[in-house]
Structures are given as C-alpha cells and as structure tokens.
Amino acid sequence: TFTGGKYHDGTSGWSENYEEGKTYNIGGVEEASGYVHPIENRKLLYRTHYASNNTSVKTIPEVFGDEVINHSSYPIRPNESYSTAERSGIYFDPRYANHSYVGLENKIYKSTNGGANFEIIYTFPDETGVVYEIEISRSNPDVMYAVYNKLGGYWDPCEIWKSEDGGISWNKTISNPSGNNRRFRISIHPENANHIWVCTARGVDGDKVHNSLDGGGTWINKTTTNLDGENLTDILYQGGSNNITYVTSQYGVLYWDDNANNWIDYSSGLPLVAKSLQINPFYRDGELRLGSNGRGVWGREMVDNMIAPIAQPITYDDIVRCPTDEIQFDCYSMLKHDGATWEWTITPEPISISSTSERNPVVVFGNEGSYTISLKVTDAQGNSNTKTIEDMVTVVDDCPNCISYGNMDYATAITLVNFNEINNATGKEAPYTDYSNDISTTVEAGNSYDLTVNVNTDGNYTVYAKAWIDWNQNLNFDDPNEEYDLGFATNTADGPTDLSPLTITIPQNALNGGTTMRVSAKYNGYPTPCETNFDGEVEDYEIVVNNILGVISNTLETNPIIYPNPTQGNFSIDLGANYPTMKLTVIDLNGKTIKTYNYSNSELINLNLNIVPGVYIINLEYEDKKAVIRLLKK
C-alpha cells in the first residue's frame, strides 16, 4: 500500500490490487503527509488539511471502486514540512499497533488506545524547539532516537537525542556527527539498539554519513568521495544484511558495501534527477520503495535479496481487558514471504488459537495472567529466526462494560432502537445481542440527538427501559450522566416507552472515538446496566464521538485558526481578516463564563489563560456571526 501527499491535490492511497494509475483521493489539500497502519495495511493516516490540528484515518478498499471506510481521527498531528528531513511523523511501537508516538512542536506525544487520545510524555527544554524524526529500536523498543532542532529555524543545527525508557526521559547523545549538522535522518540496526546510521541532509562534502556502535557516544565517518555533490535526503539500514545501508539524494540511491568500503550507485532505472525524498523497505517481497518529490513512487529489489529473517510478533495492545476477547496477532518480521513459514508459541497455553502456523492467528487467552509470545519465522531457504517477548500480553478480567443479558422465557423484548443514524428494528432472537461491530453512529460533542426505544410487553404487562453510554470510555456505566431513563410501556407488541423520544446531549468532555451504548428493557421494574438472567433483553451499539479540538462551528466570513491547541495557557487565534470588533468569551463545560474580552480592529489575538486544566469553549462573536472553538488547556 502506498500513500502520500500531492501538493495542492490532496492525499492519495493505492493498494497492490488496483491497476496502475488508479488511486483514491482520500482527502487533504497540500500536506506532506501519509502513514500506513502496521497491521491493517490498507488503513491510511494523514493530516486532514494544512490548517488542521488532527490526523484523518481511512481504510481504502481491497477492490478498487468500493467505498472508503472512515475512522475516528487522531486528535493531533505531527510536525510536517515539504523541506527535506524537516518532518516528524506517526511512529508505531513494533510490538503494539495501538501504541504510537508523534512529534509536535517541541513535544513527544504517545497514545496507547489506537490514537483516540494522546498525552505528552516529554517536552524538550527549548520553547523554540522542533522535533523531527523519531526512530524506535526493534530489538529494544524502550530505546528511541530523535532529531531535535533546539532553535527551530531553517539554518539552525540539529542534535540527536536518545531515550532508554520508551520516551519518558531523553538526553542529548554524547556527541553529534561532525559536519554542519543542519538536518539528520536516522536508521537503527534491527538487532542492536546502539548501532545506528545517520545521514546529514544538506551536509558538506566529507561529512554526510556517520555510523555509531555505541548509541551516539562516538561516530565513525562513512563518507567517501562518491557522495561528493550529493544532497542526501534519507537513510535506511537493511535488516538481515551485512551492513547494507542505503542513502537517497536528488540524483538517486546509493548503498554502502562493506567489502568495497565505499558507496555504490544503485540508481539504474530512475530519472536522471530523481528528487528522492524517502526510502522504505518492503521485506515481504525483498524490495525497496522510493518516494520522490514530484517523480512518483519507485521500486527495486534490495541489493542483497537473500534477507536473513528477523522475527517480530505484533498485536494491538499489551493489556487485554477481557479473557474471552479474540486477539489478533500478526507477523511484523523482516522476512520474504514467498515460501516462508511461521510458528507461534504462547506460554502459558491459551484456551484457543486459530492456528500456530499461520502468519496472523487469532488468540483467545481465556484466563488472567501474563503471557509470553514467541514467533519463529523460516524463509524459503530454511533460514530461521525466533523472537520471544516475555510477558508481552497481560490479561485482566475487566470485560468491557460488564456482562448483561435477559432470558428467553418470555417474549419481553426491545423491538426498536432509533438514535441518529441507528434505526434497528428487531424481534427477540437472543437475551443479549452485540450490534456494536455492525451498527454505529457518529455524534458531535455538544449536539443533541433523540433516542427512541420500542418494546414488546408480551401482553398486558409493563416493561421499563434504560440506556447507558460510556462517555469517558472507562469500560463501565457507573459515572454521572451516563444513564438515561426511557420510562415504560404497557400492553404493546411494538410501542415506544413513554419518555421516548428522549433528547440526549453529547457531553463536551466526552472522549473522542468509539464507545458503547447499552439499551435494556425489563418486565415490571427498571434494569441495571450489569443485570443478568431477567425477563427482558439487552442490546449494545457503538457510538462514535467526534470531539476534535479546534473550530466546531463557524458563521464568520473567514476561518479562524487557533494554535497551539492543546495549550499550556499561551495561544493565538488568527481570524483571517481584520475585524472592526470582536467579542471573545471563554466558557467552561458547565456553561459558566470564565473570561470575556473585547477587541477592536484585530486580526491576530494573543491570549494567556491562567485557568485550571480542562476543555473550554471559546466563542468569537462579530455582529450576528459567530465561531465556536474547542480548546484544551493542559
């Protein structure tokens, strides 16, 4: 799968099942953006548009012409730029697809729930600083490297920083490679976290590529005269090889040959001026993928096509919340797949595994505890490698939203649930039905929607109904404002409860992303959210909350931009034009006015809010027009 920005023409997505030239324009405007999910290989991520603070997530279909699937957006986006080596990105933990890192401004953010929420795990010491590339070691994912521009300017030099605790703390490496240090790109040996290669973008002749065997303590200059005049843009260490390392430049690709102790040109077939931008490995087929600036995407076999396998198991999370959940595993190994085999070993043994010899088995652990995962991969030549991760997964008995079900003794049932895009009319087929994988709706924080529930009272009896929505996604319905009383109905085979339709306002502090709505109907009394084996029925649905920071409604003639958001207190609002008057009001989630400001002849508003952390609403009012902005104060 390929994805990338096209400058003024949006972001494209292409999968190998499509014909050449047939791509999806998945959104965007002119962003230098595009990332691929490590397990769901047609799930693509990109900055929504050049003024946005979030990252869109979409899955392109397996068959060209089918519909693109939209997912909840990430609430932040990385530092990105058209300029060579001046970008961060979205970086996934090689063990857990739901764990990702983003470099934004001078901060490193981490998500452990698939991008629904991010928290700052480290702030570099300089307010002017900018985080560029982040690289995560495969052999020890606690070891990470980052390129950091402490002054943030185009001409300012960069530094290389290192973390040994998963990004919680960082230190500048003992020394930087020699040369002008204008920009760096990094590649890590997949079996040695201290063995790194660095190229200097826009580096001077004689100081363009360096290698360190001690994690940046000392550097070996790997530059030769073959790199003179080459403006390097990226670097890639080929896993499973004898130190083969690729660099890209405006003219093409070169690779390091240990025997020749020199850089060898590998640009055959590329345009004379290739404008190379980024090189990625495609180990499945033993090939390289080269992204360029305006010259398309190119592929070629790796120099050493007989890759020695390097195993890497991957799943979604380190913690499984329910022993009966089906958990997807996959092979994230450096391995040519043609003729390859897989062998999975899980200790202690789970209650089920779909296959121990397929690439991507599904596991049900069944019991609480810590599980060690081992993956052995073998290529077509019989070369094998095994990766064992002790206690890779911990299983706890905290099944989502508890278990609730009625019984089938009587016909007491839910016959209709209608909520925004959900309109599900059913009979009683089971005492509990989980519709959350098939039926969902997206709602906007702050907006109101009507919920109607119809029931079958099974004769001249009274049935009561309630609904619960887990707004804070803490896997229970115990929190305030998560329970909704729908009243009762009497003597009906398919009639609404007396409080239907019930208007539900989505809380401003509801977490962004998918959550569960539970609807329950019970004979002769109100149900509770975790009740079992009663005369009635329970149904679960997915509610996707859209609670993105930034502008949520706007009738002004311009599109205001707020930055940074989230903020420590200092932020700016670019109104996009000079307004004769502008009233700005800061309101908390309880509707209380915190601050009011009035401005005259203003286009740029700078504010410093000394208020408690939380989500706030900012209203901008000019005459009868208004913009509403959601702001997160950290």
Q: What is the 3-state secondary structure (H, E, C) of 226-281?
A: HHCCCCEEEEEECCCCCCCEEEEECCEEEEEECCCCEEEECCCCCCCCCCEEEEEE
- The secondary structure of residue 566, as a DSSP letter, is S
Q: Which pTM was predicted?
A: 0.69
| Distance from chain centroid for Cα 293 | 25
Residue 380 and residue 340: Cα distance in Å, rounded? Answer: 5
**pLDDT of 399 strictly over 80:** no
Identical fold at 2-81+137-301 and 405-546?
no
**pLDDT of 83 strictly over 90:** no
Contact status, residue 433 vs residue 417, Cβ threshold 8 Å: no
* pLDDT score, position 472: 85
pLDDT band at 548 (very low <50, low <70, confident <90, very high): confident
* pLDDT score, position 614: 79
Residue 435 and residue 70: Cα distance in Å, rounded? Answer: 19
227-264 burial code (b ≥16 CB/10 A, e <16) = beebebbbbbbbbbbebbbbbbbbbbbbbbeeeeeebe
* pLDDT score, position 511: 83
Residue 432 and residue 406: Cα distance in Å, rounded? Answer: 7
* pLDDT score, position 31: 78
* Mean predicted lDDT score pLDDT of the chain: 94
Q: Phi and psi (nearest 5°) for 227?
A: -100, 0
pLDDT band at 484 (very low <50, low <70, confident <90, very high): very high
What are 15-53's pLDDT values in tens digits?
999 988 899 999 887 778 899 999 999 999 999 887 888
CATH architecture of 313-395: Sandwich (2.60)
* pLDDT score, position 539: 96
**pLDDT of 629 strictly over 90:** yes
* pLDDT score, position 527: 97
Q: What is the CATH number of domain 550-633?
A: 2.60.40.3080
Nearest to 590 by CA among 611, 617, 565, 613: 617
From residue 73, how far is each of 215, 505, 512, 634 by CA, in Å?
A: 35, 21, 8, 20
* pLDDT score, position 61: 97
Nearest to 318 by CA among 397, 393, 398, 399: 393
* pLDDT score, position 264: 98
Look at residue 486 and give its three-state secondary structure: strand
**pLDDT of 233 strictly over 90:** yes
**pLDDT of 72 strictly over 90:** no
pLDDT band at 553 (very low <50, low <70, confident <90, very high): confident
pLDDT band at 466 (very low <50, low <70, confident <90, very high): very high
* pLDDT score, position 20: 83
Give the angle subtended at the CA of 82 by the CAs of 80 and 86, to the nearest 5°.
Answer: 55
Q: Phi and psi (nearest 5°) for 332?
A: -110, 35
Look at residue 509 and give its three-state secondary structure: coil
- The secondary structure of residue 225, as a DSSP letter, is G
* pLDDT score, position 398: 75
pLDDT band at 280 (very low <50, low <70, confident <90, very high): very high
pLDDT band at 429 (very low <50, low <70, confident <90, very high): confident
pLDDT band at 392 (very low <50, low <70, confident <90, very high): very high
pLDDT band at 322 (very low <50, low <70, confident <90, very high): confident
Mean pLDDT of 521-539: 95
Mean pLDDT of 60-77: 93
Give residue limits of the domains in the chain.
Answer: 2-81+137-301, 313-395, 405-546, 550-633
**pLDDT of 231 strictly over 80:** yes
CATH ID of 405-546, from 2.60.40.10, 3.30.499.10, 3.50.50.60, 3.40.190.10: 2.60.40.10
Nearest to 517 by CA among 413, 458, 571, 439: 439
* pLDDT score, position 337: 97
Range with the poorest average pLDDT among 521-525, 538-542, 629-633: 629-633
Q: What is the CATH number of domain 2-81+137-301?
A: 2.120.10
